[in-house]
């Protein structure tokens, strides 16, 4: 891979300048937070002053613009199943340097319910490593918990990974997915990949199939860039209009000394966030203005909805430079997966090797990140999967996020995902090999 000198020039100090600005803003941010509370608290004499609502609203807006946004919690503590509430505990299954495999385990004291829960199918949700935290899939997980044992990949902010833990590339991502599948147990597993991981998930399953390993019963591929030559979006165009060295020189920076990952090369979260905001600046400006107006009017329900959305949206992580640049090259510039030319750690990815795994693809009609046809391309590439074991869903009126979160996900998408998984829980896909007995220590976790 072509590398440019990233150790000289103004770009070298961009991350450091960002951190300095953040530190400089901190006192103002704390002051704005205190003012917002002082001018709105019921017991404060300041709240009785004329115009107190506007002063409080302006200060809270300033506070939220300047504050740091930490990774939100999944905050899934219970799930309702057929009118009964089941406690849910978040458990760490596997701890890797760049990712944590989590399990959301449901509990009950009812013997009949325990038997029913144990009999449900395990689902691995592979979250994207593309700026936001895996908590963006909170609604996805909560909905799946009604009918499944749910695992998720919880990617670690690269600035928090010490440099001595090594690099993390797209090949490493594929290896992680393989390890997670083996850890849970492939024989009864169903994998749901959302957006970016559709590519490494397909690669992982193809490599496992080519080696003769058991593969998951089904794959649900949602809004992913499997073949970005189909209906290219503005995101795709940016990646193709600039050479690889441009990305390395302009968006890759070193983590400052105040983080455990000091010296690691990353695509910083704050740059990614700037990119997110610049895609729809008018919408975000209007949203913040509406938030201010809601606070002035005392519409706390809408104000709280704004807080919840931006607490998630503004929480971003740094991506490892190697992984990011690999993705730009492999997925968006050279299209190696659909062209059948991708080698992962010396092994050629042959999608036709997948035979015993059913495939459902899901696309949003209005997706402006992964255009229509990019995910559906998996069907023409996975020629070893019988036509009867392939299905596609285009969600009318849905954008990128609507296919895995919100009302359309819960009412339109999930019922079809649930039924597809159930179909292959009862029987394997047409080309599935006979199950192999696994060692007792490797049995799937319940």
Task: Indicate the angle between helix axes 52-66 and 14-38, nearest 10 degrees.
Answer: 160
Three-state secondary structure along 347-382? Answer: EECCHHHCCCCEEEEEEECCCCCCCCCCCCCHHHHC
d(CA 179, CA 224): 21
Q: What is the pLDDT of residue 42?
A: 86
Q: What is the pLDDT of residue 192?
A: 98
Average pLDDT over residues 294-322: 89
How would you classify the pairing of strands 319-320 and 390-395? Answer: unpaired
Question: Of 196-205, 307-316, 429-438, where does the model show the most confidence?
Answer: 196-205
CA torsion sign for 296, 300, 302, 304 is: positive
Find the radius of gyration of the CA atoms of the chain.
Answer: 23
Name which of 117, 192, 183, 99 is nearest 445 in CA terms: 183
Q: Which of 100-104, 310-314, 355-359, 437-441 shows the lowest per-residue confidence on average (mean pLDDT)? A: 437-441
Q: In what order do the strands lie in the sheet with 253-254?
A: 253-254, 265-267, 319-320
- Could you tell me what percent of the chain has a pLDDT over 70? 93
- What's the chain's length in residues? 446
Whether the pLDDT of residue 329 is over 60: the answer is yes
What's the token pair of residue 176? Answer: 């992680």
Q: Which of 45-49, 302-306, 431-435 shows the lowest per-residue confidence on average (mean pLDDT)? A: 431-435
pLDDT confidence bin for 199, thresholds 50/70/90? very high
Residue that wins the pLDDT comparison between 315 and 140:
140
Whether the pLDDT of residue 231 is over 70: the answer is yes
Whether the pLDDT of residue 446 is over 50: the answer is no
CB 22 within 8 A of CB 28: no
What's the token pair of residue 336? Answer: 């190696």
Q: What tens digit of pLDDT does each residue of 332-360 get? A: 999 999 999 999 999 999 999 999 999 99
d(CA 418, CA 406): 16
343's enclosing H/E stretch is strand 343-344
Whether the pLDDT of residue 441 is over 50: the answer is no
Question: Of 2-16, 60-74, 121-135, where does the model show the most confidence?
Answer: 121-135
Whether the pLDDT of residue 179 is over 50: the answer is yes
Alpha carbon 276 to chain centroid distance? 14
pTM of the model: 0.88
User: Under 8 Å CB-to-CB from 142, ≥6 apart: which residues?
Assistant: 76, 79
CB 295 within 8 A of CB 56: yes
Q: What tens digit of pLDDT does each residue of 145-175 get? A: 999 999 999 999 999 999 999 999 999 999 9
Q: What tens digit of pLDDT does each residue of 269-287 get? A: 888 877 777 777 888 889 8
User: Under 8 Å CB-to-CB from 67, ≥6 apart: which residues?
Assistant: 29, 33
């Amino acid at each position: 891979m072509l590398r440019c000198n990233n150790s000289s020039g103004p770009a070298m100090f961009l991350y450091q300048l960002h951190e300095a600005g953040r530190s400089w803003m901190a006192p103002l941010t704390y002051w704005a937070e205190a003012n917002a509370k002082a001018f709105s608290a019921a017991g404060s004499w300041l709240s009785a002053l004329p115009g107190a609502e506007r002063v409080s609203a302006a200060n809270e807006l300033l506070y939220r613009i300047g504050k740091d946004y930490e990774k939100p919690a999944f905050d899934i503590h219970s799930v309702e199943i057929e009118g009964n509430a089941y406690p849910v505990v978040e458990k760490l299954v596997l701890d890797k340097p760049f990712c944590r495999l989590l399990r959301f385990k449901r509990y009950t004291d009812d013997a009949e319910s325990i038997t029913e829960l144990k009999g449900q199918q395990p689902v691995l949700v592979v979250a994207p490593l593309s700026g936001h935290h895996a908590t963006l899939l909170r609604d996805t997980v909560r909905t799946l918990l009604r009918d499944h044992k749910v695992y998720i990949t919880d990617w670690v902010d690269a600035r928090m990974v010490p440099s001595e833990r090594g690099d993390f590339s797209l090949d490493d991502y594929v290896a992680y997915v393989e390890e997670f599948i083996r850890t849970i147990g492939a024989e009864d597993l169903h994998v749901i990949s959302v957006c970016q991981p559709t590519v490494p998930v397909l690669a992982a399953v193809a490599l496992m199939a080519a080696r003769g390993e058991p593969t998951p019963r089904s794959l649900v591929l949602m809004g992913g860039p499997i073949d970005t030559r189909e209906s290219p979006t503005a995101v795709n165009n940016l990646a193709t209009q600039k050479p690889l060295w441009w990305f390395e020189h302009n968006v890759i920076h070193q983590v400052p000394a105040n983080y455990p990952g000091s010296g690691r090369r990353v695509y910083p979260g704050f740059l990614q966030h700037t990119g997110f905001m610049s895609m729809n600046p008018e919408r975000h400006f209007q949203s913040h203005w509406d938030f201010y107006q809601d606070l002035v009017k005392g519409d706390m329900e809408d104000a709280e909805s704004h807080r919840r959305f931006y607490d998630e949206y503004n929480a971003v992580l740094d991506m490892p430079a190697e992984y990011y640049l690999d993705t730009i090259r492999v997925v968006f510039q050279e299209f190696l997966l659909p062209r059948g030319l991708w080698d992962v750690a010396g092994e050629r990815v042959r999608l036709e090797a997948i035979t015993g795994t059913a495939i459902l693809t899901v696309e949003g009609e209005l997706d402006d990140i992964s255009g229509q046809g990019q995910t559906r391309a998996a069907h023409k590439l996975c020629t070893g999967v019988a036509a009867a074991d392939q299905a596609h869903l285009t969600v009318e009126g849905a954008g990128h996020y609507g296919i895995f979160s919100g009302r359309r996900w819960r009412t339109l998408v999930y019922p079809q995902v649930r039924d597809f998984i159930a179909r292959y829980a009862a029987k394997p896909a047409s080309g599935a090999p006979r199950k192999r007995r696994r060692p007792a220590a490797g049995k799937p976790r319940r």
